[in-house]
Structure 1
Amino acid sequence: MADRTSKKPPTTRKTSLYRLTDDGDPDLRSLIRPRYLDQEGFRARPVRQGPLRGLLVTGTTAPGPADWCQALADLTGLAVNEENHTAFGLLIVRTEKHIYALGHGMGHLMIEPARIDPGFGIHFAVRCLEKDRVTKVRRQIMDARGRSDENSVTSGEHIRGFGIEEFGEIVSHIAGKVRGIPLTYTGGDAAGAHITGNDRSVKLRLGRTPEDLMNDLLAIEEVCERDDPLPEFDFITQVRPLEAVSDLAQGLDARLDEMLGTGVPGRVGLAVPSECREGFDSAETFRVRVARRTRTVPELDAQTLLGPVSSCAPGERLETLRKGKVQMFADSDAEEVISGNVSAGRWLTAEVVEEGAHYFLWQGKWYEVGAEYLATVKRRVTELLARPSRITLPPWPKGEGEGPYNEKRVAARAGYVLLDKKNVHTARLHGGGWEVCDLLGPDGQLIHIKKAPSGTAPLNHLFAQARMCVETLKYDTGARRKFIAKLDEIAPGHPARDFREPTVVLGILLKEGEPVTADSLFSFAQISLLHTDNVLKGLGARLEVVSIGR
């Protein structure tokens, strides 16, 4: 039997590696949050060990009894007084080109957040991961639902196997195997090393000697200096989140604050926060509290939010908006609450162009979007909008509501069936009413109508309706039978009865009746439209968009 005492100590340790921005200050203590430098029991010591030059900060906190002690004492009648001890370790290392931080325990909490390079982890990962050995992907959908998905496989698979959409998804976490990088851990091992890159750090095994660690950092730098990501991962890098405390994000905040002083800027509009998505469709009233003003409105638009802050002092407009609150109610008297008080700032989307770079505010966070990505989105949207449709929609008179327009202008024509407010009750919606669509076209087209005078919120609502319509018809047999029975009742002679491969038509009225084009839609609306098209394709449906004029 082998002698366990003769086992060699490990040569590497799994570590979270952060790259920090260098402002030229030679004092590395400026990278640490001051409260940790001043806290009793914490020490910051310079490091000069072999090739390593840096700073080591360590400490332990004992904040008092664990929060579960009293609960156990109440249950058992016995005294329970146990403490949590939290250890912090952070090594900051300077190379000739960059500054890195190696976090141990809760050490990463000591880093000044504004100094963390938010793109480092993904930037590294997409330049060295094996395309067929990806083990985990976390992404956020940039559409009305605002949801996050995480998928993982034990042995790894091709990046495309995770079903990532080319447009409208932000990859914030990716893990897998790397090969061909001279890391200490690989040591010539053909199996390669496993790494995890996210929008803040890289987690991987790094050398435990000064020489090995420096060699590993230099190998990582060589990968990061490669001009382009691997072809299979290129689309991931086109959308990059910005840290809220970064100089760039704060500069964008300042630019947006200036824009808010103009009333309703052209590239600021309404968007529905993910936490409000479920109740938004059934909301009858919105209570808005901004700049010490309270309004209750039947419909929410950008002007309702932006009007009160336009008269605020420069530098205070955006902060006033973020402190404001929006709450949704299911009744016209604002008594039946269906949401909490959500920051008014999360109800906006904005676009800012600075020196050719495009930035977007979405769900309260700034993103940088590559110019090539936007050009491709615009081309794809243009192609989608050019699809021919047999549906034509009449002009929409000013002052006329959606219901009268559907009934008097569209459904009055031969072959069209009014379905607006003619709900089908289905178990899929827990017995709630389901409006299949607004109208049925002569060839069975499922037509959804929406007025979208400003922002993306009405369009997000429209896109969500279209997806839900097709998903329910495809997967809910009971709902489909009830829908066909409803047609037999209100339009017995209509030929449409087969909805296995339906055509979905989105009839859109933009401000002043301008045509729906890639230029007249917000970029986020374009991305959401493409994502909706992809989802409907997967369900066997065809999507068409028809502009409504005045």
Structure 2
Amino acid sequence: MSPKKQASTRKTSLYRLNAPADPGLDLHTLVEERYRGREGFTTTPVDHAGVVGLLVTGSIARDRAEWCDVLSELTGADVQVAGRTSSGLLLVRTERAVYAVTYGMGHHMIDSARLDLGFGLQFALRCLDQDGISLVRRHLMDARGRTNENSTTRGGNLRDLGTEWIGSIVSKITGKAIDLPLTHTSAGRRSLGVSCTDSSISLPLGRSPQQFLNDLRVIEDACTQPAPLPGLESLAKVRSLRRRGKTDLVRELNERLDQYLGDLDAPGLALNFPGECASHATETRAIRIMRGSRVIDVGDLDIDDIRQFVRDRPDGCRLSTLKDVRVQLFADEECTESLSPPIPGHRWITAEVRSGAAHHFYWQGSWYEIGAEFVQALRDDVTELLGRPSGVVLPTWPAGKKTDEDWFNKEAAKQPGYDLFDKKNVHTGTFRGGGLEICDVLGPEGQLIMVKKADKGSSGLSHLFAQARTATEALRYDAEVREKFLARVAELRPNDPPEDTLATPTVVLAIRLKYGVPLTADSLFAFSQVSLLQTALALQGMGAKVEVVPIYA
């Protein structure tokens, strides 16, 4: 039998680093400090057949693998197996940039602050076949903080995979590359599979120095294309700035956020429920804020409730202090029945910082960059949604301590044809404790009216949007909730067929902005616009009609 021919390529992870392609740059500075000179690791300068850079290799040996204890307990046998973790990192300097090629656990050796976080998606959006996408992982910038991963074995376009551009942060995309003269395709192979994250590309690269350098040039040329390929533009609208907050831009944004936390008039700061808490918004009766021995309990959370723990701190210390604050939801006013774990305070805020055409947003504890095109598209869609006519008429809501949400709901229910449902929760085996609040007021044509007073940010709106989704989902899919709600409607309206209320429900989001500011796309914080559109899409997908009604002062 003839020996097997060695493949000309090998699947490799490739990163581009935020470092100048300067021959004077010390490449050692791009390696995580704990691996520099570490026992068992070797660092070697490289200058071979045009490949110029730095090679770092090594392994961490263990006399006994960490899983031996588990197997010993389960089987009663004395399991003794050595463990070894191997890592390889090659830093390569070209005329344009510095790249990192990794094998095994080699990616852990890169200083994460030096990763170019746009590299992987920049490449993917300029070379992937729009009809050959096999996987998209995206994060939705709404109140629930959800992550969706859609995949197909045969490949398809973004619409087939069910992706929406509104508030989607793509962190991974896999598919077939087209028209790239790489070593892999020139060897007679028909297609090239590529998997890209925000910072990396995983693809076959040439094994010889000449092939490898040629492949790097092809990738560099692809990244210089002026715009994403048709059909992929929507994925380029939002860019994550994650990676432990070490980049210069993130440090600058954190400084701005730190200043906002100490400024009572800061325009770009608002409150937002973390994803794991949004589903409990309708059940919450008390919220506890803690730092050290200081504890404050509130009924409705406001941004200033959290900010008071940090605003008197010195410059540069507020954000770090906020990360020590904990916020917890409870189902009872005595704070004995917890609905959530204590969650760090910085995950309860959103912030917006504008820098030229780009907007940067702090959301769920991370920064994101959104271009002007995305912001304008948001504004147009929100304007259309706010302009839809509604059959609901609501009273004014003047400022004053006595005119709280409870007062307004009762005023609205005094109108002919309207009924009060605020605090008349439905209790079922699923919704125990505080039960489920379906709506605040039932409209004359069975509209589910949900009321919220909020500032221009997300503080009350994320609660409102979560209530709308939870109530609509429960009415649609939970027979016990639906039966109990319809029974209550029948008691109040014996002459109206209660089933008609839910055949094609109308959900009315009634919003009063702080200080009586008019409700427009311009007066809503950008993430509130995202959450509003995501909520409208979700409700429409469940067969509901969505209306947004402003409440005037």
Give the TM-score range, shorter chain.
Answer: over 0.9
Which whole-Å CA distance do the structure 2 matches of 1:524 and 1:455 have between them? Answer: 8
Instruction: Identify the residue that residue 549 of structure 1 maps to in structure 2.
Output: 552
Q: How many residues align?
A: 546
Cα drift, residue 64 of structure 1: 4.5
Which whole-Å CA distance do the structure 2 matches of 1:403 and 1:487 have between them? Answer: 20
Q: Relative to structure 1, is the Cα distance of residues 241 and 69 closer, same or farther in structure 2, using a 3 angstrom cutoff?
A: same
- CA RMSD for the aligned pairs? 2.0
Residues 270 and 454 in structure 1, CA contact (< 8 A), matched pair in contact too: no
Residues 144 and 460 in structure 1, CA contact (< 8 A), matched pair in contact too: yes
Instruction: Check if 1:473 corresponds to 2:479.
Output: no
Cα drift, residue 537 of structure 1: 2.2
Which whole-Å CA distance do the structure 2 matches of 1:423 and 1:335 have between them? Answer: 20
* Aligned counterparts, 1:62-81, within 5 A: 62-81=61-80
Q: Give the residue type in structure 1 aligned to 2:491.
A: E
- Local SS of the residue matching 2:185: coil
Q: Relative to structure 1, is the Cα distance of residues 427 and 169 closer, same or farther in structure 2, using a 3 angstrom cutoff?
A: farther
Instruction: Check if 1:22 corresponds to 2:23.
Output: no
Residues 302 and 455 in structure 1, CA contact (< 8 A), matched pair in contact too: no
- Which string of whole-angstrom CA distances, capped at 9 and with x for unpartnered residues, describes residues 185-218 of structure 1? 1126463100011112111111111111111111
- Local SS of the residue matching 2:205: strand
* Aligned counterparts, 1:85-484, within 5 A: 85-187=84-186, 189=188, 191-243=190-242, 244-263=245-264, 265-290=266-291, 293-397=294-398, 398=400, 399-407=402-410, 409-426=411-428, 429=431, 433-453=435-455, 455-484=457-486
Residues 286 and 296 in structure 1, CA contact (< 8 A), matched pair in contact too: yes
Instruction: Identify the residue that residue 528 of structure 1 maps to in structure 2.
Output: 531
Cα drift, residue 431 of structure 1: 9.7
Q: Relative to structure 1, is the Cα distance of residues 148 and 384 closer, same or farther in structure 2, using a 3 angstrom cutoff?
A: same
Residues 32 and 111 in structure 1, CA contact (< 8 A), matched pair in contact too: yes
Instruction: Identify the residue that residue 34 of structure 2 maps to in structure 1.
Output: 35
Q: Relative to structure 1, is the Cα distance of residues 480 and 223 closer, same or farther in structure 2, using a 3 angstrom cutoff?
A: same
- Local SS of the residue matching 1:47: strand
- Local SS of the residue matching 2:36: helix
Cα drift, residue 230 of structure 1: 1.0
Which whole-Å CA distance do the structure 2 matches of 1:466 and 1:282 have between them? Answer: 13
Q: Give the residue type in structure 1 aligned to 2:529.
A: Q
Which whole-Å CA distance do the structure 1 matches of 2:276 and 2:474 have between them? Answer: 22
The 10-residue stretch of structure 1 (114-123 or 508-517) with the greater mean CA deviation from structure 2: 508-517
Gaps of 5+ in 1: none
Cα drift, residue 344 of structure 1: 0.6
Residues 283 and 434 in structure 2, CA contact (< 8 A), matched pair in contact too: no
Cα drift, residue 257 of structure 1: 1.3
Cα drift, residue 334 of structure 1: 2.2
- Which string of whole-angstrom CA distances, capped at 9 and with x for unpartnered residues, describes residues 363-404 of structure 1? 010000011110110111111111111212101242223233
The 10-residue stretch of structure 1 (253-262 or 367-376) with the greater mean CA deviation from structure 2: 253-262
Cα drift, residue 22 of structure 1: 1.2
Cα drift, residue 411 of structure 1: 1.0
Q: TM-score, normalised by structure 1?
A: 0.95
Q: Give the residue type in structure 2 aligned to 1:328.
A: L
Residues 417 and 491 in structure 1, CA contact (< 8 A), matched pair in contact too: no
Which whole-Å CA distance do the structure 1 matches of 2:389 and 2:442 have between them? Answer: 18
Q: Give the residue type in structure 2 aligned to 1:473.
A: L
Residues 290 and 309 in structure 1, CA contact (< 8 A), matched pair in contact too: no
- Which string of whole-angstrom CA distances, capped at 9 and with x for unpartnered residues, describes residues 77-105 of structure 1? 44333232000101111111011111100
Instruction: Identify the residue that residue 543 of structure 2 maps to in structure 1.
Output: 540
Cα drift, residue 527 of structure 1: 0.8
Which whole-Å CA distance do the structure 2 matches of 1:280 and 1:464 have between them? Answer: 7
Cα drift, residue 495 of structure 1: 5.6
Cα drift, residue 433 of structure 1: 3.1
Residues 428 and 476 in structure 1, CA contact (< 8 A), matched pair in contact too: no
Q: Relative to structure 1, is the Cα distance of residues 12 and 235 closer, same or farther in structure 2, using a 3 angstrom cutoff?
A: same
Q: Give the residue type in structure 1 aligned to 2:7.
A: P
Instruction: Identify the residue that residue 518 of structure 1 maps to in structure 2.
Output: 521
Which whole-Å CA distance do the structure 2 matches of 1:454 and 1:63 have between them? Answer: 55
Cα drift, residue 223 of structure 1: 0.8
Q: TM-score, normalised by structure 2?
A: 0.94
Cα drift, residue 477 of structure 1: 4.2
Which whole-Å CA distance do the structure 1 matches of 2:287 and 2:439 have between them? Answer: 24
Q: Give the residue type in structure 1 aligned to 2:508.
A: V
Q: Between the two proteins, what is the percent identity of the paired residues? A: 46
Instruction: Check if 1:84 corresponds to 2:83.
Output: yes
Q: Give the residue type in structure 2 aligned to 1:9.
A: Q
Which whole-Å CA distance do the structure 1 matches of 2:35 and 2:459 have between them? Answer: 43
Residues 59 and 88 in structure 1, CA contact (< 8 A), matched pair in contact too: yes
